[in-house]
Structure 1
C-alpha cells in the first residue's frame, strides 16, 4: 500500500512524474546497451546444458566444467560492462534524484525536518543518561553481589538505568513522522538512517548488564575485559547489519534508485565483512573464555552433553563465524542474499547448536554402549558390534555435518538438493557419493577382518579359558591380515581414481607389464616368494619353531613372504631366504626322542642293567617336574653291538617337542648315580701293564751277536 501510494503521489505531481519518466528512459537505455553488447549471442542454455560434463569425465571433469562455466559467466559480466553500467546507472540515479530534490528545495527541508527528530532523540538519550538516578553505577559499587538473587537484582537495575533513556529516544524516532508529518519517502529515509544507531545503542547499553551476569561464572576480570574490548565490536557489527538490511528494503531501493541501493549495500556488506573478520581474529580467545570456563572444566574433569557442546562451540566458534561471513559474501555476489545477515546468522547458529546437541547426545550413548561391549574378552559377534558402533559414531558425525551444511545453505537461499538433482550438481555429487561408498565398504570389510583376526589370536576365550593356538595360525593370520589390508587399500585407491575421472586401465596394464618385467628380472625373488608361500601353507615352519637347515640352526623369530629369521644358540640372528632352504629339520612338531646309549663291560649282568634302566625311567615319569614332559617310559631297544669298549645297550625316551634334551640329561645323571650304587661300571677299566720282578725272566746273553751288551753287576 505504501508503495502504491508513493507511485500515485509521484504521478499526480508534475515534477515527480517528469523525473519518473526520465528514470524509466534511463533504465530502457541501459537495457538497450546491454543487448547491443552481445548482438550475436545465442539463446542462453540451461545450467544443465551449459555445464554438463561428459559421463566419463568423473569428479575432476565435473569440477572443471563447473569452474569453466562460472569463469565464463564472470568474464561475460566483466567484459560486458555490467559493473561499469551499474556504477554509471547509480551515478545517474543519484544525480537525477538529488539534482531534482536540490532544485526544488526538498533536500534542505528534509535535513531540517529529519535533523530535528534526530537531535531530539539524541538529546533525550544523552540528557537522561546524565541524571544522577539514571547514571550507570561504577564497577566498585556493583561488582560485589552477595547472593544469586542480589546478582540478578543488580543486573536488572543496571539494565533499567541504561535502557530508560533509550525508550523515549526510540519513541521519538518512530513517532516523529506522526508528530511532524512528512512524505512517505522522507519518513523511510529518516528511519533508515536512525535504526542502525538505535540498534547499536541498544546493544551497547544492554551488553553491560549481560556481561555483568557472566562475572561470577567466568570471572570479573574477563567480564570487564569483554566490556572494554568485545562490546564495541558487537555494537559496530549490529549497526552495520541493520544498515545492510535497510538497503535491501524495496521502498528504500525505489527512493534512492535500484543500482545506487545495490552498490551502497555492497559497500556496507564489505565493511561488515572486514569488521567481522577483524573481530574474529583479534578477539578469538576472549570470546572463547566467555563461552566456556576452561579452568573449571580442567579442574572438575566432568561434563555432560551440553558441556561437551559448549566446549566444541567455544573451540571452533571462529571457524563458524568465518564460514558465516564467507557464506554471506558468496550469497551477495551470486545474488542470493535477500535476507538480513544478522537474522540468518542467528538462525544458522541456532540450527548448528541444535544439530550438534542431538549429535553429541547420540554419540555419547553409542560411546557408552561401545565401551560396555569392549570390556573384557567378549565373543566375536560382540567385538564386531563394538567396532561397528564406533564406525556408526563417525558416520553420525559426518551425516550431522552434511545435514548442517544443507540446512544452512537452504537458509541462505541456496537449494543444494535441487542443485545436485541434475546438471553440473549431479555430475559432481555422483562421483563424491561413489567415493564415499567405496571408502565405507572398504572400511567395513577391514574392520570385520581385523576384528576376526584379533579375536582368533587372543590368548583366552570369552570365558577366560586359555586357548591353544597353533603356530601356523599365529604365523599366517597376521600375514593374511596385512595382505588383505594392502588389497583393500589398492582397490579403494583404484575406485577413487576411477571416480575422479582418471583412466585406470592404462595404469593397471602398465602395472602388469612392470610386474612381469620385475618377475623376469628377479627370478630369485619370485622363487623365494613362491617357496615361502608353499612352506607357510603346508605348515612346514612357524614362529617359535626350532629348526635346522643344515648350515644354520636355531629358533624362528619372524617369517615374511620371502625370508625366515632364525636366532641361534649364540644369540646371532640369521636371515635365510626360502629358496636357500633345500631340506629343513623341524624339532618343534609332535614329539621328540632322546636316544639312550649305555656302554657296559662284558662281565656286567645285562638283564640287571636293563632292569635298572627301566626303573630310572619310571622314576622320571613320576617326577613332578619332568613327568609332564614325558610321553612314556624308557623303551629299551636291546643290545646294539659289541665293541672293544664294551657292550652297547640302546633305548629311547619319547618326550614333548624340544624337551628331549632336558629329560635325557636328567636320565643320564640318575642312571650314573644308580649304577654307582649298584657297582655297575659304564665302561671297562683301562688296561694296565704289569712289570715282572728282576730275576723272573732270564737275562739276555751278552755278545756282539746278541744285540745287547753285557752289564756289569752293580
Structure 2
C-alpha cells in the first residue's frame, strides 16, 4: 500500500507540474453580469426589450424555466456519458497521431539544435551517472557497517541505524545532483555560468526520482534486513523494491524530463505521445504485478481471516482475497482511460482520492492491528493489585475485549467515511461543520461518554466492594458487612444502569419524560398485581434493618434449618445439612431463629441407669470437659463447664445436663468431641446406660380351665 501511495504522489506531482489549463471562454452568465453592471449597456438592453415585436407574448419573452423532471435529468446524464466516451475514443486517436508527429517532428528538427542538446545532456548524464555510481559504492560500505549486528539491537537502535542510512544515501543523492549542476554550468557548448533548461529538467527529475526511490528503500530495506522494521521477508522486500524503483524511474523521468524536453525541442504532440506510451507501459507492468501476486495475497488474507476466527471482518477479508485482483485491474484500466480522457482535472482528482483512501486504510489498519495486539496480549495487573483485588483482572479481561470490538468497528466506519469523503460520495466534513452536524456529533459523543463513565463507575464500585470483602487484606469483614456490601453493589448496579440509560437517551434526543411516567405507571401496576413481591421486598427491608441474619449465619427459617449462602432484598438462600439449597421468599417468613449470634451453648443431655452413682457420673462429665479443653477446640470455648445437674427422671433412667459456652456457631465441633469423650469414660468406669427391663409375674388360673373331672 505504501508503494501505491508513493506512486500516486509522484504521478500527481508530475501531472500537476506539467498540466496546461486551456483558456476558459466567458460564460453567458458572466456576460450578462457585465452588461447589468454597465449603465450604458444596461440601458441599451432595456431599449431592445421595449422594441421587441408586439405580437410576442410575455411568456415567450420571459426566460424559460429549467426542466427538472426525471426524464430531463436522465437525458442530461446519458448525454454527458456519451460525450465522455466520445472524448475517450478521440483521445486514443489523438494519441496515435501524436506518435506519428513524434517521428515526423524528430526528422524535421534542426540538426544543430539536436547536436547541441545531445552534447550538453550527454556531458551531464555521464557525469551524473558516474558520480552517483561512485558515491553509491562508498555509501554502500558505510551502510553495511551500520547494518552489521542489527538483529542484536533494540527497536530504537534499529530505527536510529535506519535514519543514519537514510541520511547517508540522501547525502549521496544531493552530492551527485550538485555535481551535475556544476557540470551543466561549466561544461558543454553553452557559455560558462549558464545552462540549458533541459539540463535543469534532467537534474530536477534525478533529484525527485532518486528521493522517491530512497523512500521506498527506507520502507522495505531490501539490502539490510537487520534494519527492516516491517515484517517482510527479504525476497518480498527485494521484489517490491525492484518494481517500485522501475515504475518510479519510468514515470518520473518521462513526465519531468522527457516529455517537457520533447515539447520544447520537437513538438507538444511528441511530448504527449511519450506520456501516452509511458502511461500504457506503466499500467501494463502494474497489471502484470497484480497477476503475479494474485495467489500470494489471497492466501495472506485467508490466513488473516483464520487468525480472526472467521469473524465478520475476517469473512470480508477472505471474500476480498478471492476477487481483489479483478478490482485492482479494473481500477488500473479506469485510471488509464480517465487519463486519456481528461488528464488535467479527472486524473489528479482520482490520484488524490486514491492516495487519501490508501492513507486512511493504512492508518486504520495500524490502529486495528494495535487494538488486536492489545486484546490478544490481555491485561496483566501487578501482584499487589491482584492480591488486593483478585476479581479485577478477570473482570477487565471480560470487559476490555467487548469495548475494543466496538472501537474496532468505529475505526472501520471512520475508514469508510474517509474513503467516501475522498471520492466525493458525500461531504461528511462539511456536514459535521454545520450546526446540525455539530449537534448530532455532540449528542453521540456525550451519550458514549455517559455510557463509558457508567461502566468505569461500575468497575470501580465492584472493585471497592471486592476489596472490602477480601479477608486477606485489612481487617476481616463481618457477616453484616458482607450482606450489606453485596446488597449495595446489586442496588448500585441496577440504579446506575437505569440512570445511565436515561441520560444517554436524553442526549441523543429521546424524550425521557414519557418513559419516566410510563415507568411509574408500570411500577404501580406491578405493585397492585404482585402483592407477594411487594411483601417480599418490604419484609426483606425490615429484616436487613433489624439485622436478624447475615450471610454465613446458621438459621431456621420457614421450617428449614441451614447456613445462609445468599441474602437479597427479596429472598434468602439456605443450604441445609444434606447440601440441599432452599430459596425462601421473605413473604413466607414469620419467624427467624439465628443460632450464631453473640455466643452459643452446646447442651449435653446424658441419661444413665437408676443404679448409677450420680457423683461418679458428674465427675465423668467434668473429666470429659477437661479432655476437650486440651484439644484444638479450646480456643472456641468461652467459659468453664456449667456444673452437671440432675434435671429429670424417666421410667428407665436419670437425665443429667451440662452446657459448654462457645463462640457463635462453634458449638458443634466441641460438642461432638465432648459427647464422644463422655460415653467413652462411662464405658471405662462401668456406668451403665439405661435399658428397658421386663418382669414376669405368674398369674391365677383362667376361669375357663377344666377341673380334673372334666367339669
Residue 634 of structure 1: how far off its partner (Å): 2.4
Residue 449 of structure 1: how far off its partner (Å): 1.4
1:77-96 superposed Cα distances (whole Å, 9 cap, x missing partner): 99999x969x89x98xx99x
For 1:445, the equivalent position in structure 2 comes to 457
**Which residue of 476, 482, 495 corresponds with 1:474?**
482
**CA pair 688-494 structure 1, distance change in 2 beyond 3 A:** same
For 1:656, the equivalent position in structure 2 comes to 663
For 1:633, the equivalent position in structure 2 comes to 640
For 2:652, the equivalent position in structure 1 comes to 645
For 1:27, the equivalent position in structure 2 comes to 25
1:321-377 superposed Cα distances (whole Å, 9 cap, x missing partner): x9xx9xxxxxxxx99x9999699989x89x989x99xx99xx9xxx99974873654
Contact 2:222 2:241 (8 Å CA) reproduced: no
- CA distance in structure 2 between the aligned counterparts of 1:458 and 1:667, rounded to whole angstroms: 34
For 2:493, the equivalent position in structure 1 comes to 485
For 1:686, the equivalent position in structure 2 comes to 693
Contact 1:196 1:243 (8 Å CA) reproduced: no
For 2:591, the equivalent position in structure 1 comes to 583
**Which residue of 563, 567, 572 corresponds with 1:555?**
563
Contact 2:216 2:241 (8 Å CA) reproduced: no
Residue 456 of structure 1: how far off its partner (Å): 0.2
Residue 559 of structure 1: how far off its partner (Å): 3.6
**Which residue of 214, 221, 224 corresponds with 1:213?**
224
Contact 1:550 1:583 (8 Å CA) reproduced: yes
Residue 27 of structure 1: how far off its partner (Å): 3.1
Helix, strand or coil for the counterpart of 1:575? strand
Helix, strand or coil for the counterpart of 1:427? helix
For 1:545, the equivalent position in structure 2 comes to 553
For 1:457, the equivalent position in structure 2 comes to 469
- CA distance in structure 2 between the aligned counterparts of 1:373 and 1:684, rounded to whole angstroms: 64
Contact 1:244 1:340 (8 Å CA) reproduced: no
**CA pair 439-220 structure 1, distance change in 2 beyond 3 A:** closer
Helix, strand or coil for the counterpart of 2:631? coil
1:130-169 superposed Cα distances (whole Å, 9 cap, x missing partner): 99x979x9xxxx9xx89957999xx99x999x989x9799
Determine if the alignment matches structure 1 residue 203 to structure 2 residue 213. Answer: yes
**CA pair 554-34 structure 1, distance change in 2 beyond 3 A:** farther
For 1:670, the equivalent position in structure 2 comes to 677
1:454-491 superposed Cα distances (whole Å, 9 cap, x missing partner): 210112225xxxx4322233333234223322322332
Determine if the alignment matches structure 1 residue 709 to structure 2 residue 707. Answer: yes
1:284-310 superposed Cα distances (whole Å, 9 cap, x missing partner): 979x9xxxxxxxxxxxxxxxxxxxxxx
Determine if the alignment matches structure 1 residue 224 to structure 2 residue 271. Answer: no
**CA pair 109-503 structure 1, distance change in 2 beyond 3 A:** farther
Contact 1:200 1:239 (8 Å CA) reproduced: no
- CA distance in structure 1 between the aligned counterparts of 2:31 and 2:183, rounded to whole angstroms: 43
- CA distance in structure 1 between the aligned counterparts of 2:107 and 2:481, rounded to whole angstroms: 93
For 1:300, the equivalent position in structure 2 comes to none
Number of corresponding residues: 525
**CA pair 419-612 structure 1, distance change in 2 beyond 3 A:** same
Contact 1:203 1:234 (8 Å CA) reproduced: yes
**CA pair 229-443 structure 1, distance change in 2 beyond 3 A:** same
Higher alpha-carbon deviation: 572-581 or 212-221: 212-221
Helix, strand or coil for the counterpart of 2:607? strand
**CA pair 79-543 structure 1, distance change in 2 beyond 3 A:** farther
**Which residue of 437, 442, 455 corresponds with 1:430?**
442
1:482-502 superposed Cα distances (whole Å, 9 cap, x missing partner): 332232233222222222222
Match runs of 1:177-326 below 5 Å: 195=205, 199=209, 203=213, 207=217, 210-214=221-225, 222-229=233-240, 231-233=242-244, 236=247
Contact 1:566 1:574 (8 Å CA) reproduced: yes
**Which residue of 570, 575, 582 corresponds with 1:567?**
575
Contact 2:601 2:661 (8 Å CA) reproduced: yes
For 2:524, the equivalent position in structure 1 comes to 516
- CA distance in structure 1 between the aligned counterparts of 2:669 and 2:380, rounded to whole angstroms: 51
1:546-592 superposed Cα distances (whole Å, 9 cap, x missing partner): 33234433333334444433333333333333322332323233333
**CA pair 515-634 structure 1, distance change in 2 beyond 3 A:** same
Residue 645 of structure 1: how far off its partner (Å): 2.4
**CA pair 223-544 structure 1, distance change in 2 beyond 3 A:** same
- CA distance in structure 2 between the aligned counterparts of 1:238 and 1:495, rounded to whole angstroms: 60
Match runs of 1:53-132 below 5 Å: none
Residue 503 of structure 1: how far off its partner (Å): 1.9
Residue 452 of structure 1: how far off its partner (Å): 1.5
Contact 1:618 1:634 (8 Å CA) reproduced: no
- CA distance in structure 2 between the aligned counterparts of 1:219 and 1:498, rounded to whole angstroms: 47
Contact 1:215 1:223 (8 Å CA) reproduced: no
Residue 668 of structure 1: how far off its partner (Å): 3.0
Q: Unmatched 5+ residue regions in structure 1?
A: 1-19, 37-71, 247-251, 257-263, 289-321, 326-333, 693-698
Contact 1:497 1:504 (8 Å CA) reproduced: yes
The TM-score, its normalising length taken from structure 2, stands at: 0.51
For 2:55, the equivalent position in structure 1 comes to none
**Which residue of 595, 619, 622 corresponds with 2:603?**
595
**CA pair 244-433 structure 1, distance change in 2 beyond 3 A:** farther
**CA pair 600-705 structure 1, distance change in 2 beyond 3 A:** closer
- CA distance in structure 1 between the aligned counterparts of 2:577 and 2:352, rounded to whole angstroms: 78
For 1:500, the equivalent position in structure 2 comes to 508
- CA distance in structure 2 between the aligned counterparts of 1:645 and 1:681, rounded to whole angstroms: 12
- CA distance in structure 2 between the aligned counterparts of 1:78 and 1:241, rounded to whole angstroms: 41
**CA pair 119-245 structure 1, distance change in 2 beyond 3 A:** closer
The TM-score, its normalising length taken from structure 1, stands at: 0.51
